[in-house]
Amino acid sequence: MSDDPPGAEKDNYFSEILKVLAFGATVATIPLFASMENLQPPWPTAVAYVSAALIVVGALIAREFGAGASSAALRRLLLLASTLTVVGLFAYLYLYATLVLTLEGGDRLILGYACNNEAQQMYERCPHLTAVELSEDEYDPERFYTLESLTAAKLSLVAAWITFMAGLVAVVGWAIAGVKAKKAAAAAPTNPAEPVKEG
């Protein structure tokens, strides 16, 4: 700390502000993540752990790509991540609306894309069955839908969810990295050796 350049005091001031901002942003995201408990896919039951692992991986990747990148490059990455978030969210919501059935008790079932032969003969609504039809066989979708269509439905829900989560984590990570890059660019005039302005 003793051999800091003249701009170091200003630098420390900025980093203190950034710490407060980062802390504020983190606190603001907690209810966001907590509220997702009811929104996340019903399968696998340990999807919360998958999401948590994804957050860590996403944050590390965002840090790896964001560290040292210029402000303009970070802006492009941020746009890419935002697109990923929005596309993932809408894909997930569409799949959730068509494939997830919430029962009275709050339990959620994942329906399939195609009914099995027996169900096709018995129910005209196939494959868009409701709780009334599913109540006829213990609310077990495996007795109404083909196993392949159930697996495809589960995996497509999880894929859309992962796209959304990865995009969201990358947005947060690169937004914070962007603030850091802007700070570096603002501090650049004091040190002409660093060509930061041109992205």
Partner 1 sequence: MQTLFLKRGLRLAAAALLLPPALAQAAPVTFAIQPAGGTARIITAREFRLCVLRGIDPWSTNCPGWRPVANGQALTLMGRFNVYAAWDYGQSYRGELEALPASGPMQFRIRPVAMRQAPAAR
Interface residues toward partner 1, by CB under 8 A: 15, 18-19, 22-23, 25-26, 29-30, 32-34, 36-37, 40, 42, 45, 47-49, 51-52, 55-56, 59, 63, 67, 103-107, 118, 121-122, 134-139, 143, 169, 172-173, 176, 180
Residue 75 or residue 183: which is nearer to partner 1 going by CB? Answer: 183
Residue 102 or residue 190: which is nearer to partner 1 going by CB? Answer: 102
| 115, β-bridge pairs | 145
Minimum Å distance from CB 15 to partner 1?
Answer: 6
**Do you find a cis peptide bond into 44, omega within 30 degrees of 0?**
yes
| 145, β-bridge pairs | 115
Minimum Å distance from CB 52 to partner 1?
Answer: 4
Residue 116 or residue 156: which is nearer to partner 1 going by CB? Answer: 116
Minimum Å distance from CB 90 to partner 1?
Answer: 21
Minimum Å distance from CB 143 to partner 1?
Answer: 7
Structure letter (DSSP) for residue 145: B
Of the candidates 95, 68, 64, 91, the residue with the CA atom closest to the CA atom of residue 165 = 91
Residue 3 or residue 104: which is nearer to partner 1 going by CB? Answer: 104
CB–CB of 149/117 below 8 Å? no
Residue 95 or residue 198: which is nearer to partner 1 going by CB? Answer: 95
Residue 6 or residue 105: which is nearer to partner 1 going by CB? Answer: 105
| 100, β-bridge pairs | 110
What angle, 0 to 180 degrees and rounded to 10, lies between the N-to-C axes of helices 147-187 and 71-99? 160
Minimum Å distance from CB 103 to partner 1?
Answer: 4
Q: State the burial class of residue 22 (Cβ atoms within 10 Å of its Cβ: 0-12, 13-18, 19+).
A: middle
Residue found under tokens 């040292």: 68
- Report residue 136 as tokens: 């006829």
Minimum Å distance from CB 37 to partner 1?
Answer: 6
CB–CB of 92/161 below 8 Å? yes
